[in-house]
Amino acid sequence: MDGILNLEDVNVRGKKVVMRVDFNVPLDDSGNILDDTRIQETLPSIEHVLNEGGSLILLSHMGRPKGKDSKLSLKPCAKDLEKLIKRKVRFIDDCVSDEALNAAKNLKPKEVLLLENLRFHEGEEKPEKDPGFAKKLAELGDIYVNDAFGSSHRPHASIVPLAGLYKKKAAGFLLEKEVSFLEKALKNPERPYLALIGGAKVSSKLGVIKSLLSHVDGIIIGGGMAYTFLKAYGVKIGSSICEEDLLEEARRTLEEAKAKNVPIYLPEDSIIVDHLSNDAQKKVAPNSVGIPDGMMGVDIGPKTIQHFTSLISRAKTIFWNGPFGIFEIASFSLGTFEIAKAVIESAKLSIVGGGDTIAAINSFKLGSKITHMSTGGGASLEFIEKGTLPGLEALKK
């Protein structure tokens, strides 16, 4: 990361380090953490600061609250972090109150403070409405560290304006690791290089698909978003998910890929049902026949699985974002499972991004066999598309 200091380059001894982390973990209805992967991934940066004699003020968001919402408190994260680092983690129920500022001021070396959800303040997501919010956060410490890769594509107060208020700032180890893997996929990938793009919506991924055309040797499209492309080709899709307003854009993307001689592979058949449940009667619908009205596609079909896994078997580098079916319903998870198996059996470098994709792979107990599981789906897509992120640029200034 040219022009950006690494955490190891900064002397933190006796300093108060304000570290932006991504503790946006899934919670159950009782407020218990369902998966603390994002907290665990930040431990190397946290432990480095503490071992080097710094004191640590942690900032994060949780969910999308509208004002203060006790269900989206970071308090469970403080308890989880205590167990992981085996030391006291003090928690304050605000991030810019006098109590928070005093707690940070009185923090001793090797002590940890976690402040409440940044998004309880409007100024976090809309810094232009409350410029003073970032300035208050800046009073918390001496050094700024961004280790929140999953949030670094958003120009929020704690990501961009806050970094701009510090002379001493650095990238944490997780941020550095994430960017390092993505740069490998962009700058010097071992070929063939294949992108797998799935999930529900085309709208969030058209930009990255177009960008990938300049980097990859082929793109496989699956999941709900495939039906927008299939309809653009004239295939009957029944009641399957489709973004009608993007049909023309989908056609242009397919034409652009053809002009660049980069094949885009679409499903050749689908598993279809008339309602979403495990016991729904499944049928196979080839593209030549299409999906009848009242039926919807929920997974890739057997012919598609065979074709896609054959393509994947020849790839050396794979970037994958988005499942290929409604994997949360076991009866519709076969396509995503077979794709995951093919990826781990074939690719020398496999990078997987997106919460749903990672959840699918973890449900198949295959996560340990992926080269790199990114903590930020949206951030990884934007980095692939643009080659940088607002959070990275803010660390350069």
pLDDT tens readout for residues 347-396: 899 999 888 898 899 889 998 999 999 988 889 989 988 899 999 999 99
11 is in an annotated binding site: no
In a domain, 324, yes or no: yes
356 is in an annotated binding site: yes
Of 174, 201, 225, the residue at which a domain comes to its end is: 174
CA 220, 323, 72: angle at the middle one, nearest 5? 140
375 is in an annotated binding site: no
In a domain, 275, yes or no: yes
Answer yes or no: 218 catalytic.
Answer: no
Q: 300-335 as b/e, with b when 16 or more CB fall inside 10 Å? A: bbeebbebbbebbeebbbbbbbbbbbbbeeebbbbb
pLDDT at 397: 67
Q: Which of 123, 290, 378, 391 is catalytic?
A: 378
Answer yes or no: 378 catalytic.
Answer: yes
Closest by CA to 381, choosing from 143, 225, 237, 186, is 186
Q: What is the pLDDT of residues 80-130, one digit of tens each?
A: 999 999 999 999 999 999 999 999 999 999 999 999 999 999 999 999 999
In a domain, 30, yes or no: yes
In a domain, 308, yes or no: yes
123 is in an annotated binding site: no
Of 145, 174, 203, the residue at which a domain comes to its end is: 174
176 is in an annotated binding site: no
218 is in an annotated binding site: no
Instruction: Please give the Cα distance from 59 to 8 (Å, whole number).
Output: 20
In a domain, 1, yes or no: no
In the chain, the DSSP E strands lie at 16-20, 55-59, 89-92, 112-115, 143-146, 169-171, 193-197, 218-221, 264-265, 269-273, 283-286, 296-300, 317-321, 349-353, 372-373
Same domain assignment for residues 197 and 158: no
In a domain, 397, yes or no: no
For residue 54, give both structure tokens: 């710094």
Same domain assignment for residues 148 and 100: yes
154 is in an annotated binding site: yes
In a domain, 233, yes or no: yes
* Domain span including residue 200: 182-384
Statement: the pTM of the whole predicted model exceeds 0.85: yes
Count: domains in the chain = 2
Q: Which of 20, 38, 169, 231 is catalytic?
A: 38
Give me the CATH number covering residue 243: 3.40.50.1260
Q: Which of 75, 110, 168, 201 is catalytic?
A: 201
pLDDT at 104: 98
23 is in an annotated binding site: yes
Same domain assignment for residues 156 and 186: no
Same domain assignment for residues 159 and 238: no
pLDDT at 74: 97
Same domain assignment for residues 222 and 331: yes
Same domain assignment for residues 220 and 136: no
Same domain assignment for residues 83 and 218: no
Q: Which residues of the chain have pLDDT under 70?
A: 397
355 is in an annotated binding site: yes
Task: Give the phi and the psi of residue 341 in degrees, each rounded to 5.
Answer: -60, -45
pLDDT at 319: 95
Same domain assignment for residues 90 and 121: yes
In a domain, 32, yes or no: yes
Q: Which of 168, 236, 355, 367 is catalytic?
A: 355
Residues in the chain: 397
299 is in an annotated binding site: no
Of 174, 206, 234, the residue at which a domain comes to its end is: 174
Answer yes or no: 90 catalytic.
Answer: no
Same domain assignment for residues 297 and 194: yes
62 is in an annotated binding site: yes
Answer yes or no: 387 catalytic.
Answer: no
